[in-house]
Amino acid sequence: MSQHRAAGNRVTPSNSAARKTGASRHSAKHRVARRNTPGSTQIVGLTAALAAAAGAVGFSHSSLASPTQANSAVNIAALSGSSQLSEVTTARIERRQLATRDSSRVELSSTEATKKQAAADRLSKARAAKLDATRALTAKRASALAAAKAAAAAAEQKARESATRCEMIISDYRITATFGQGGSRWAANHTGTDFAAPIGTPIRSVMKGEVIFADWAGPYGRQVKVRHDNGTETWYNHMSKFSVEVGETVYAGDQVGAVGVTGNTTGPHLHFEVHPDGGPAINPMPWLREVCGLNP
Ligand SMILES: [Zn+2]
């Protein structure tokens, strides 16, 4: 019934009210009819399309050509039915084709996936191998570096422990009095060399040795005496502070105190003395040059 009405509406396109009623009433069920309601030209086109569709899926043309079905509305209604059937059939065929395509696509994609996986595995293995090689190389380098560092540290320690290695006793100084110089401040001639420098300037042991004295010593002020392995003593005087204690082992360059103005002095300086075998003082300058290889 509804098909008849839809068809009827289509053959009287000028009746817009009826068309609208029919269209709205069957809007969901008859998409084909609804789509083609606007004009007769389109209906002719639809008829041809339906006929083609019906023919394509094997429906007889006789249903269209039959003289007993002269009523075009009935014809179209039949076509509409045929069209729905053909749509269903076409849809089934399409679904089947789609399913076939899908399955072959799945097969194809699974083959591609396998290939991709294999390639990814190869890449992964290659990367792992490269990483292993890099790690091995890094470990080897680290080991070599550690060995080199250890060797350097050992060499440095050995040099530091060397009894003959020397370091300058003070930096940024100015020599203000030399050995043997006469002067009113000294009972005899000057027994050392004066290195003038600001208060607090570090004073360092010239060689490895043992601290044998670190105390006040009258005109020397704060005094540190270091006895070196060769028996020579070096004395550091007029200091503002002590950096070592008696009994302590010091190495060349280790700080023993700082420049001060303690004892018999008119300005901040290091009064430095050298006593071979703990005996009388000698001129420090040639000793620093010849024994220590320094250039004061
Ligand atoms: Zn002096």
- What single string gives the DSSP state of each residue in 67-87? GGG--HHHHHHHHHHHHHHHH
Q: What is the pLDDT of residue 83?
A: 62
Name residue, tokens 């389109």. 42
Average pLDDT value over all residues in the chain = 78
pLDDT for 136-193, tens place per residue? Answer: 999 999 999 999 999 999 988 888 888 899 999 999 999 999 999 876 655 568 999 9
Q: What is the pLDDT of residue 160?
A: 81
Q: What is the pLDDT of residue 102?
A: 66
**CA 206 to ligand 1 center in whole angstroms:** 17
Whether residue 224 contacts residue 263, with contact meaning beta carbons closer than 8 Å, is answered with no
**CA 163 to ligand 1 center in whole angstroms:** 26
CB atoms under 10 Å from CB of 252, counted, come to 23
Side-chain half-sphere of 236: how many Cα atoms within 13 Å?
31
Q: What is the pLDDT of residue 15?
A: 43
Total-model pTM? 0.53
DSSP code of residue 187? S
Burial class (CB in 10 A: 0-12, 13-18, 19+), 240: middle
Side-chain half-sphere of 293: how many Cα atoms within 13 Å?
6
**CA 231 to ligand 1 center in whole angstroms:** 22
**CA 247 to ligand 1 center in whole angstroms:** 25
Which candidate, 283, 290, 288, places its Cα nearest to that of 169? 288
Where, residue-wise, is CATH 2.70.70.10 in the chain?
174-290
Confidence label for 92 from pLDDT (cuts 50, 70 and 90): confident
Q: What is the pLDDT of residue 112?
A: 84
**CA 240 to ligand 1 center in whole angstroms:** 15
The superfamily in CATH containing domain 174-290 is: Glucose Permease (Domain IIA) (2.70.70.10)
Q: What is the pLDDT of residue 156?
A: 85
**CA 104 to ligand 1 center in whole angstroms:** 105
Q: What is the pLDDT of residue 184?
A: 60
Confidence label for 25 from pLDDT (cuts 50, 70 and 90): very low
Confidence label for 291 from pLDDT (cuts 50, 70 and 90): very high
**CA 67 to ligand 1 center in whole angstroms:** 146
C-alpha span between 116 and 120 (Å, rounded)? 6
Query: Which ranges of the chain does DSSP label H, i.e. alpha helix?
Result: 2-11, 16-25, 31-35, 40-56, 62-65, 72-161, 284-290
**CA 233 to ligand 1 center in whole angstroms:** 16
**CA 148 to ligand 1 center in whole angstroms:** 45
Confidence label for 99 from pLDDT (cuts 50, 70 and 90): low
Q: What is the pLDDT of residue 84?
A: 64
CA 91 to chain centre: 58
Least confident window among 44-48, 94-98, 214-218:
44-48
Residue 246 has pLDDT above 80, yes or no: yes
Q: What is the pLDDT of residue 157?
A: 85
